[in-house]
Structure 1
Amino acid sequence: MKVHHLSSENSIIHKFVNQLRDSSVQTDAMRFRKNIYRIGEVLAYEISKNLSFKEVTLQTPLAPYNGQEIEDDVVICSILRAGLPLHEGLLSFFDDAENTFISAYRHHTGSENDFEIVVEYLASPSLEGKTVILADPMLATGQSLVAVKKALEKMGTPKQIHIAAVIGATEGINFINNHFSEDTHLWIAAVDEKLNEKGYIVPGLGDAGDLAYGSKLQH
């Protein structure tokens, strides 16, 4: 798997990540969603550099023009619910992409530190031969992405898979590296050092779904 860590270089993405982490800014849910949206746009721009392009001929008011446009059939797949703002940011650039939505959540099997990933809902077009972008803002243990990958197998074999994430832990990145093919690309805004005993990213930013859309009852 090829990892593209955007915070390893200086760019505006640091501002968006800093505001997502800042507990004094997190109280504004609309701003929190907007910053994830903006990171989605940055990730979309970077992903676009690795797609296939073809020549097209256009007619301007003055003369014909030979340009370039994306040749790949792109499908954006969001893991509900935290993936929605990231999905919208990606979709603002890949505005003619198809869309897939899937649910994946932690179901606690014993203590609060023991859980399994449950996938219950999937709405998707065929993925056969298409370029799939998996949007999951928090790459913690990596188990959700692996469960989603398995659930999507019945929808066809993609040409390529790109993973778009906001913050991830080294442990989770290593985990998905063992389950995705070598030509998979991970595009991630920031990488954190570790997970705590509950499997949450440290320092991270908290629960992205709750911060974006409000708290929920636990399963």
Structure 2
Amino acid sequence: MNVINLSDSNSIFNQYLAEIRDHEIQRDPLRFRKNLQRFGEIFAYEISKTMDYKINEVKTPLGIAKVPKLIQQPVLATILRAGLPLQQGLLNYFDRAENAFISAYRKYDDQGEFHIEFEYLASPDLNEKVAILSDPMLASGASMEIGYKALLQKGEPSHVHLVAIIASKKGVEYVQEMIDAENVTLWVGAIDDEMTVKSYIVPGLGDAGDLAFGPKVDSH
């Protein structure tokens, strides 16, 4: 699996990364969601460079222009709920893409331990298509693994791009181990070294879902 970290080079991406981590700016959920969308747009642009194109002739008012166009739009998948603004950013660029939605959540036991529970998948056929699976945070890596394996129930994609804004080092290593496939690329915006016992990335940014849509009642 190839891992691409966009923060390895300086770009406007890092400006938005600084904003999304800033606890003062986080107080504005509209700004938070907008930055999630911006990340999706930047990831979409970068991923688009890896896709297949063919030359098309486009008639202009003054003649014919030969322009490369995508052969096939990808399928955009996300894990509810935090992934929705990130997916919208991807959809802003891949604006004719099909979409898939995965419901997964943390299920806690009486000791406060949790595992990721998969509930629901709505997806088109994925055979021989490029799929982009997005989730803002890659902490333990379990949600991304479950989402990826859920998508494979709908076919065999030609390539799968996994997208996360902030990942933990442990999460990246876990995904590399559990999704050992040559046709998978992991795209991240930053990799943080630490993670708490409850699988929150440090320094991270907190709970992306709560910051985007408001706090929820815990299920434990």
CA distance in 1 between partners of 2:164 and 2:111 (Å): 28
Match of 1:76 in 2: 76
Give me the whole-angstrom Cα distance separating, in 2, the residues matched to 1:115 and 1:83.
Answer: 20
Output aligned runs, 1:27-176, within 5 Å.
Answer: 27-112=27-112, 114-176=113-175
1:23 maps to a residue whose letter is H
Report the TM-score when normalising by structure 2.
0.96
One-letter code aligned to 1:69 = K
Deviations 1:99-134 (A, max 9, x none): 00111111012322x211111121111011110000
Q: What letter matches 1:130 in structure 2?
A: K
1:15 aligned residue: 15
| TM superposition shift of 1:183 | 2.9
For 1:128 and 1:111, locate their aligned partners in 2 and report how far apart those are by CA, in whole Å: 41
Gap regions ≥5 residues in structure 1: none
- Structure 2 unmatched runs, 5+: none
In structure 2, C-alpha distance between the alignment counterparts of 1:41 and 1:190, rounded to whole Å: 16
Cα distance in 1 for partners of 2:11, 2:145 equals 30
**Is 2:158–2:183's contact at 8 Å kept on the other side of the alignment?**
no
The answer for the alignment partner of 1:192 in structure 2 is 192
After superposition, give the CA deviation of every residue in 1:1-57 in whole Å (9 maximum; x if it has no partner): 111101111100111111111111111000000011101111111101111111111
- Please, what is the CA RMSD of the aligned residues? 1.0
State the distance in 2 between where 1:92 and 1:200 align.
29
**Residues in 2 aligned to 1:63 and 1:73: alpha-carbon distance in whole angstroms:** 27
Q: Structure 1 length as normaliser, TM-score?
A: 0.97
Q: How many pairs were matched up?
A: 218
Q: Percent identity?
A: 46
Q: Which moved more, 1:74-83 or 1:100-109?
A: 100-109
The AA in structure 1 aligned to 2:30 is M
Q: SS at the partner of 1:104?
A: strand
